[in-house]
Amino acid sequence: MFTRIDHVGIACHDLEEKIAFYTSTFGLTVAARETQPGQGVHEAMLHVADAPAGSSYVQLLQPIHDDTAVGRFLARHGEGIHHVGYGVDDVEAALGILAASGVRLIDDRPRHGSMGASIAFLHPKAVGGVLTELVQAP
Ligand code: MC0
């Protein structure tokens, strides 16, 4: 089902500071910056590598305000890994397979994600405490 690790989402308080750290320390480059009001985040995708199945990224996430998924996560856990995003060829097909096998979904249909991707989340309680995202690149 998974074609690659598309990205690792990292929650942070200060997007500019973390972009500066990842670019200067690890030599990553910023592939995209967006604000996603529906997800409650300002975010940056930092390119890590290319592979035949597609590219991989670090996704830095700063909440737009405290009462958002990432804002609540920061209050509870502090900065750190927020979710793992896996590449899939067809997010709707993957959701259908997972729902049929009883995996608890957050999204039963795809929504708009970073860089034009079609995305859907699986509940962390169904994945051993890991918030898991399916990503179908455009
Ligand atoms: C919350 N919990 C997590 C978690 N967030 N566990 C692991 N990883 C996370 N990231 C756990 C809490 O510890 C708690 O566990 C329980 O879930 C409920 O916590 P809460 O604070 O009451 O939860 P809510 O209301 O924030 O809901 C949690 C849920 C939500 C995962 C359903 O955050 C959600 O729908 N997330 C999906 C959307 C999202 O995260 N968007 C931001 C990234 P206990 O054991 O104490 O009950 S947007 C993005 O990434 C886009 C732009 C993209 O990639 O393209």
- Taking the mean position of all CA atoms in its chain, how far away is CA 11? 10
- Domain range for 11 is 2-136
Question: What pLDDT score does 116 carry?
Answer: 96
Whether the CB of 87 sits within 6 Å of ligand 1: no
Among 50, 47, 51, 72, smallest CA distance to 60 is for 47
Q: Quote the number of domains for the chain.
A: 1
Whether the CB of 36 sits within 6 Å of ligand 1: yes
Q: How far apart are CA 117 and CA 123, in angstroms?
A: 19
CA angle 31–29–15, rounded 5-degree value: 80
Which structure tokens are listed for 51? 């592979």
Catalytic status, residue 59: yes
Q: Split the chain (138 residues) into runs of 10 and give each run's mean pLDDT.
A: 97 98 98 96 97 94 98 98 98 98 97 96 98 97
Rounded distance from Cα 95 to ligand 1 centre (Å): 18
Question: What pLDDT score does 99 carry?
Answer: 97
Catalytic status, residue 7: yes
Whether the CB of 71 sits within 6 Å of ligand 1: no
CATH number, position 60: 3.10.180.10
Rounded distance from Cα 83 to ligand 1 centre (Å): 9
Question: What pLDDT score does 128 carry?
Answer: 98
Question: What pLDDT score does 11 carry?
Answer: 98
Catalytic residue among 59, 62, 82, 136: 59
Catalytic residue among 7, 42, 62, 136: 7
Query: Whose C-alpha lies nearest to ligand 1, atom 50?
Result: 9
CA atoms within 13 A on the CB side of 74: 21
